[in-house]
């Protein structure tokens, strides 16, 4: 099936079959799509946390407004972005890039100096607005890749980011949660599964100039 057909197939699953687990190779591909996401200046300002521990998933239900899908799913992905920019983070990815490409370190020094001059004086909140946006790019690609694998998922913002950050100890890693993506297989009784997918018509959605 084509990507568009798979995007028609997918929907924000409301009930998972807790007995069905997603194969590791499928989870790996979904995470890989997020890892391959383009990001601003190639900084990869986000990470993906993969949770399978049932006890931990159960603890997240009250943090996620009581949404049981978090416990019933097979794997729970958390997309978390840098809580602020640091010089070290910018240097790390550029050193990796030059090393991998056989270029001298510092080859992009004038560009990274510009990035540091732009981001480091900003507040952590301003930084996070930007880093979180990058996480959404990976999030979108993971949703599409899940559809390609015929794995059900639910894009989620409905949770307390502060409480989740505390539970997962994200502050110590310089991260703040942005979104969650439960993965699994739909329960037959899911009320949303047979419903028509509704989107604004193209004429409304596209503005041609």
Ligand X SMILES: Cc1cc2nc3c(=O)[nH]c(=O)nc-3n(C[C@H](O)[C@H](O)[C@H](O)COP(=O)(O)O)c2cc1C
**Interface with ligand X includes 16 (CB under 6 A)?**
no
- Is-contact 22 183, C-beta < 8 A? yes
Q: Count the alpha carbons within 13 Å of 202 in the hemisphere toward its beta carbon.
A: 1
Q: Smallest distance, Å, CB 192 to ligand X?
A: 7
Q: Per CB under 6 A, which of residues 54..73 are in contact with ligand X?
A: 67
Burial class (CB in 10 A: 0-12, 13-18, 19+), 74: buried
Q: How many residues form the binding site for ligand X (CB under 6 A)?
A: 11
Residue 17's φ and ψ, nearest 5 degrees, are: -85, 110
**Interface with ligand X includes 154 (CB under 6 A)?**
yes
Nearer to ligand X, 107 or 133 (CB): 133
Select the residue interacting with ligand X from 158, 160, 173, 174 (CB under 6 A). Answer: 158
Q: Which stretch binds ligand X (CB under 6 A): 11-19, 27-35, 43-51, 86-94?
A: 11-19
Nearer to ligand X, 10 or 94 (CB): 10
Q: Which stretch binds ligand X (CB under 6 A): 36-44, 99-107, 126-134, 156-164?
A: 156-164
Q: Smallest distance, Å, CB 149 to ligand X?
A: 16
**Interface with ligand X includes 9 (CB under 6 A)?**
no
Select the residue interacting with ligand X from 138, 155, 182, 184 (CB under 6 A). Answer: 155
- Identify the bridge partners of residue 86 per DSSP, sorted by sequence position: none
User: Which residues does 174 contact at the CB level (< 8 Å), separation at least 6?
Assistant: 82, 83, 84, 86, 89
Give the single-character DSSP code of 196: P
**Interface with ligand X includes 79 (CB under 6 A)?**
no
Burial class (CB in 10 A: 0-12, 13-18, 19+), 168: buried
């Amino acid at each position: 099936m084509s990507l568009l057909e798979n995007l028609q197939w997918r929907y924000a699953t409301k009930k998972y079959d807790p007995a069905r687990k997603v194969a590791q190779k499928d989870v790996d591909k979904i995470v890989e799509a997020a890892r391959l996401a383009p990001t601003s200046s190639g900084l990869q300002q986000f990470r993906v946390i993969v949770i399978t521990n049932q006890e931990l998933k159960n603890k997240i239900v009250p943090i996620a407004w009581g949404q049981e899908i978090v416990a019933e799913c097979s794997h729970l992905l958390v997309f978390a972005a840098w809580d602020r920019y640091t010089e070290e983070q910018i240097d790390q990815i550029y050193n990796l890039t030059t090393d991998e490409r056989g270029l001298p370190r510092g080859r992009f020094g004038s560009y990274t100096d510009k990035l540091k001059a732009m981001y480091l004086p900003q507040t952590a909140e301003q930084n996070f607005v930007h880093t979180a946006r990058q996480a959404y790019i990976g999030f979108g690609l993971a949703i599409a890749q899940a559809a390609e694998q015929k794995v059900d998922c639910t894009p989620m913002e409905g949770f307390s980011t502060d409480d989740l950050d505390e539970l997962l100890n994200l502050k110590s890693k310089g991260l703040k949660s942005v979104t969650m993506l439960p993965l699994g297989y739909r329960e037959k009784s899911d009320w949303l599964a047979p419903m028509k997918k509704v989107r604004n018509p193209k004429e409304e959605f596209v503005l041609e100039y």
